Amino acid sequence: MEAAGIPRMQAGGTPPQPSQLGAQTLARMQALQALARSPQIKDQTTVNPVEFFRHNPRNKFGAKDRLETISSAVDRDTMEDFIRAMRAGEKYGVPQLPPEYLASMLMKENRSDFGYNAYNENNPRARMIAEMLIKEGFDPAQAGFGAAIYDKMQTANRLKIPFATAWNGTGVNRQGQTGQQYAQGISSGFEAVMHPRNAPMLNIIKEAYNYQPPQAQAQPQGISAEGLANAMPQYNAGGSTTPIFNFYD
């Protein structure tokens, strides 16, 4: 909380009044309160943890393998449900992010929901996707994840920017990163995704990716997914990879 600019509360204390807070601190508090009220934000409690080691390119804290020395964890059930919602949305036009790309997003965000907050409800097709996925049994957050991928891919195609930049937004996120810096983090994090110590996490994502969703009778025409072929990692001898993360035609 302090890192977000919110003063520490002492036992028995009273919350600070808006007049006692600076404009930046107040804005951050209001943003966090809005997120807490949103029905689309998933509880990030780790009930069934999946552990992994995030990227540490400078080998800080005595690391020797370019990974963080302490593992991180997200909730497996939440993660799998979000992936299944994306897979179920394919028949409605939701682009399918490759497992390795999902893993890099997961590690970058360090959240079971891949950093999803809300989808653009002003996009009619995205709204239809969310509604159809809810009818299939997914909750609003899981359904919204599929809708958000569709909408953000449209944005990436329209602006000719990497999908990760669109996912973050072209402005500055709460961590102070621009969309371009966020996309660079997704790309560089691929090294950690393919590290043997993270193989268990990647295998779980692949298992969820292989989920066979129910088929719909009508399959609305989605956006072009030609650019997705370029997003698949290109494997070289010895298991090294050359990832391409520019999801646009």
Per-residue pLDDT of the chain (249 residues), as tens digits, is 333 333 334 334 444 454 555 555 555 544 444 444 444 555 556 788 999 999 988 888 887 888 988 999 999 999 999 999 999 999 999 999 999 999 999 999 999 999 999 999 999 999 999 999 999 999 999 999 999 999 999 999 999 999 999 999 888 888 788 888 899 999 989 999 999 999 999 999 999 999 776 665 444 444 333 444 344 344 333 333 444 444 443
User: What is residue 27's three-state secondary structure?
Assistant: helix
Break the chain into its structural domains and give their ranges: 48-242
Q: Tell me how crowded residue 95 is: count the other CB atoms within 10 A of its CB.
A: 24
Distance (Å, rounded) from C-alpha 37 to C-alpha 40?
9
Backbone angles phi, psi at 178, to 5 degrees: -75, 170
User: What is residue 124's three-state secondary structure?
Assistant: helix
Nearest Cα residue to 165 out of 142, 194, 187, 196: 187
Nearest Cα residue to 140 out of 129, 151, 150, 152: 129
Total residue count of the chain as it appears in this document: 249
Distance (Å, rounded) from C-alpha 116 to C-alpha 6?
23
**Measured CA distances, 13 to 20, 23, 29, 221 (Å):** 14, 22, 17, 56
Contact (CB, 8 A) for 249 and 227: yes
pTM, two decimal places = 0.70
